[in-house]
Amino acid sequence: MVKLDACGLSCPEPVMMISKAMKSGGKEYEITVDNRVSKENVTRYAEHQGYTVSVTESNGEFTLKIQK
């Protein structure tokens, strides 16, 4: 599993990070973001790429588990 930390970054940077990671062809990713817009945009992008996304929230941070 590839783990990414995009806290403190605003879109489109988190989407660009997950896009670059997905080019490796992996099946599982985890990315942490700290704002709702990034959560929504990364989720939308991953689902568009054929992945399923589950989200957990803790202390204002969202952890997105992305799987194919």
Per the annotation, the verdict on 11 as an active-site residue is yes
Strand 52-58 to 28-33 pairing: unpaired
- Rounded CA-CA distance 48/34 in Å is 22
Asked if omega into 12 is within 30° of 0 (cis), the reply is: yes
**Which candidate in 7, 11, 21, 55 is catalytic?**
11
Catalytic center residues: 11
